[in-house]
Amino acid sequence: MQETKRDEIVRSAFSTFYQKGFLATPVDAVLADTGISKRTLYKYFRTKEELVEAAVTYYRHAALASIADEIERRADDPRGRILAMFDIKSEAIAAGDFSGCFAINARLEYDGKEPGIEAACDGFFEDLETVITGLCAEGGAADPAALARQIVVLLEGAIVYGRFRRDPTVALAAREAARALLDRDFKATHSPNEA
Amino acid sequence: MQETKRDEIVRSAFSTFYQKGFLATPVDAVLADTGISKRTLYKYFRTKEELVEAAVTYYRHAALASIADEIERRADDPRGRILAMFDIKSEAIAAGDFSGCFAINARLEYDGKEPGIEAACDGFFEDLETVITGLCAEGGAADPAALARQIVVLLEGAIVYGRFRRDPTVALAAREAARALLDRDFKATHSPNEA
DNA sequence: TTGTATGTAAACTGATCGGTTTACATCGCT
DNA sequence: AGCGATGTAAACCGATCAGTTTACATACAA
């Protein structure tokens, strides 16, 4: 199925909001970036917030697919794949144009104001925890969900804090911490690692 | 030295911004909460952003003093004091009115737009790392700064993620992770004393 | 060919908001 | 008493912005 006009708008709006924030970005900026008219935008979305919600849902699926893809390319055991997530973020921070986690950003700007947007962000968080829980189970952790939660805190912490410190080594420090937790919880048998 | 009018405005503005956010809060909301006139506000601050910057600086000193105070009350060894930070955040999340880290919030909303505000946030982050580095050194860590950085990532991650999940156990999971790191790096002698 | 759906361009509306200005009250000081 | 500093109250200005409406172009199916 080819991309519809609506999809095109959402994808473009996502990158505009990602770079410039939500409240600080007028709808006109989205229009300018997409080359679309205001009339068309409001044909597909009743309000700006509805567009933001769609952008978060787009991020939920696109970012998770991209992460799954990338960590599979970088490592072939669950341990290496979890650690690869931190490498990816470290590299993004080093690249200089990193704007953090779209869901965290949206959640913060609309906190307590837009239930639909909050729910979309929650969906992303749940999917992320599910993916990491799966990897932890695969690695033989006794309590995969509990370990996954610790990994997620480290990952999101590295994203937010590393971004604001503008320091890629923050994500590497988080990676080391994650490694210590994996060493503690994963079954002793892990193939040669490191990257 | 008694509190000046300026101090009063900053303190009140801090709690208004903390509860309602920055961009989403009109200056009039701050005035209403303080009972001050617009004229007076603009006598002490040239712009809204200058007021926000002052609020972040206020947070920098007030929050760190409050943390130092509270962890000293809760434990008397560096290990216990570091872990107490997570307990405090877990309790705040459980209380239900928790709005996260003021510096993270400000940094995110004004990212790339207000250098003065960004610098004030950086000041808070540096002070926080300094405090935790001190505790790590006191605990006998081989590389106190590196360990502190990991603790800070866990702490800020727990604050942001736990807040958005509305789940106090997130901070407790982070606490467990921190404990694992302390077990690894602190000098083996961890009897619950020392000051 | 004609009608309908889809699109752009742009003017417009109404509300919000940051910041200024005017007018007036109060208090402390000499 | 009188004066300057400090304060409130409130009208005001100009810009911004979400969302609507009008006008017009294009494509395509009956």
What pLDDT, in 10s, does the model give residues A48-98?
999 999 999 999 999 999 999 999 999 999 999 999 999 999 999 999 999
Angle (CA) A47 A28 A24, round 5°: 80
Q: How far apart are CA B68 and CA B85, in angstroms?
A: 9
Q: How far apart are CA A71 and CA A88, in angstroms?
A: 9
Output the CA–CA distances (angstroms, integers) from residue A49 to A22, A107, B26, B97, in the order listed.
Answer: 9, 12, 19, 24
Of A113, A149, A157, the CB nearest to B156: A157
Which nucleotide is closest to B4, CA to C1'? Answer: D6
Q: What is the mean pLDDT of each run of 10 residues along chain B (195 residues)?
A: 84 98 98 96 97 98 98 97 98 96 98 98 98 97 97 98 98 98 80 44
- In this predicted structure, what is the pLDDT of residue A181? 97
- In this predicted structure, what is the pLDDT of residue A193? 46
Task: Please write the tens of the pLDDT for every residue from A122-142.
Answer: 999 999 999 999 999 999 999
Distance from CA of B34 to the nearest CA of A (A): 22
Considering only residues 78-97 of chain B, list those whose CB is below 7 Å from strand C. Answer: none
Distance from CA of B36 to the nearest CA of A (A): 26
Task: Please write the tens of the pLDDT for every residue from B119-160.
Answer: 999 999 999 999 999 999 999 999 999 999 999 999 999 999
What nucleotides of chain D have any atom within 7 angstroms of a protein Cβ? 6-11, 16-23
At residue B173, what is the residue type? Answer: A
Instruction: Please say if the pLDDT value at position A103 is more than 70.
Output: yes
Q: How far apart are CA B23 and CA A116, in angstroms?
A: 20
Check if the beta carbon of residue A157 is closer than 8 Å to that of residue B156. Answer: yes
Specify the residue for token string 């603790």: B151
Q: Please state the domain extents for chain A.
A: 5-185
Closest residue of A to B21, CA-based? A109
How much is the average pLDDT of A164-183? Answer: 98
- In this predicted structure, what is the pLDDT of residue A3? 78
- In this predicted structure, what is the pLDDT of residue A172? 98
Domain A5-185 has CATH 1.10.357.10: yes
Domain B57-185 has CATH 1.10.357.10: yes
Of A121, A156, A173, the CB nearest to B149: A173
CB contact under 8 A, B154 and A177: yes
Of B100, B109, B181, the CB nearest to A180: B181
Check if the beta carbon of residue B192 is closer than 8 Å to that of residue B117. Answer: no
